[in-house]
Amino acid sequence: MRGYLDHLTVERGLAANTLASYRRDLERYLASLAAAGVSDLAAVSTGEIEGHLARLRAGDEDHPPLAASSAARAASAVRGLHRFALREGLAGADPSRDVRPPVPPRRLPRALPVDDVVRLLETAAAVQAAGDAAPLALRDRALLEFLYGTGARISEAVGAAVDDLDVDDGVVLLRGKGGRSRLVPIGGYALRALSAYRVRARPGLAAAGRGTPALFLNARGGGLTRQGAWTILRRAAQRAGLPVDGPHAVSPHTLRHSYATHLLDGGADVRVVQELLGHASVTTTQVYTLVTVDRLREVYATAHPRARG
């Protein structure tokens, strides 16, 4: 298991959170095998793997039932371990080859209407104009404009450095999943907010810290964390009258979903949106086309005189 996780870290470049999830999944799998008296991967049968995955869905006294998405991830971890064992000569066959993981239900990403995004950003601008903790208000608006203006993941935003931003060319270098980097254009609104923050707010915040290169800083001069960025968005959403709890709560990823959906609604090619989002496969991006098709159906149903029989 350690060898497989090292392989995923070094050769596949999986994110730390994904690796932690795989480690938990595999530790539970090996414990299940040990309870069945199996101590060698070469001795594992297809039935034992299927039994383990069925127990994950059913749950037990120590674990609640896993959702289809979590069970699918666990199945992927188990199958990857057996493929690795076969490739490394630790087993003569792959008993997981014919095991099919549960297919999680496809959940469509939720995007905010353009008017709601504008209200969110204008709320941040209004707080800034009111002089409410001016440096932090400038930072908050710059962060929100950055998230919506680039479609960055929250980890990419808080991981961006000052030198990653090229104001003259209007682009920023984002470091995404799997060590992949990409250049993304930034719109005029975001550039103006970033310029105001860098000139009028960041130097004062940086003076309280130890010279971090991070673009977005906290009140102590250190790099802004994911949790800090989430708090900023939640506060702005509350001021704008948008939901911050429940299934429709606004999150940093909501702005990313909105970015992609609004680009496609505006006529952008799905392959271009794939590059902008940093998706390794266009299949991941195509889920947004389903959202726009739903919107087209709504418009058709309300606008066409013979849409409803």
Active-site residue (options: 28, 52, 139, 153): 153
DSSP string, 20-53: HHHHHHHHHHHHHHHHTT---GGG--HHHHHHHH
Number of helical (H) and strand (E) elements in the chain, helices listed first: 14, 3
Question: What is the token pair recorded at 125?
Answer: 């601008």
**256 counts as catalytic:** yes
Active-site residue (options: 23, 175, 177, 198): 177
**Quick check: 233 and 251 in contact, CB under 8 A?**
yes
**248 counts as catalytic:** no
The radius of gyration of the chain's CA atoms, rounded to the nearest angstrom, is 23
**177 counts as catalytic:** yes
The two beta strands, 171-175 and 181-185, are: antiparallel
Closest-CA residue to 276 (of 287, 265, 264): 264
Most distant CA atoms of the chain, gap in Å: 70
**Quick check: 273 and 264 in contact, CB under 8 A?**
yes
**279 counts as catalytic:** yes
Residues whose CB falls within 8 Å of the CB of residue 41, separated by 6 or more in sequence, listed in order: 81, 82, 85, 90, 91
Active-site residue (options: 28, 256, 257, 262): 256
**153 counts as catalytic:** yes
Active-site residue (options: 253, 271, 297, 300): 253
Q: Which residues participate in catalysis according to the annotation?
A: 153, 177, 253, 256, 279, 288
